[in-house]
Amino acid sequence: MIAPLPRPPAIASAGEYEQWLAENPAPDLQAFVRQHGDWRRLPPNEWASFTTQQQERIKANGSYRAVTPAEWAIWDQRMADWQARRRLRSGSAP
């Protein structure tokens, strides 16, 4: 006789997930770029290639181009940590 397969974990309702998400928000990429993507890191010739309107937006929001590889590694780790918590709460961790 073959043993039955284990039951999958119960799927949380949408409301439960929304509550968990409110208590455990995903990392905010826009905030990260604003913090680490300082426009003053951009090479002068690259900065000069933007229009005045683009420069104002970049000053307010940061630039992906100005984020260093080491800082992107920090972002990747933050996102991996959050994804692991999300998987653990749903019971679907690898």
Q: What is the pLDDT of residues 35-62, one digit of tens each?
A: 999 999 999 999 999 999 999 999 999 9
DSSP alpha helices (H): ranges in the chain?
Answer: 14-23, 29-36, 44-48, 52-61, 69-90
User: What is the average pLDDT score of the chain?
Assistant: 89
What whole-number distance in Å separates Cα of residue 67 and Cα of residue 77? 15
Q: DSSP class of residue 34?
A: H
What whole-number distance in Å separates Cα of residue 52 and Cα of residue 1? 75
Which tokens sit at 62? 């940061």
Q: Are 84 and 93 a contacting pair, CB within 8 Å?
A: yes
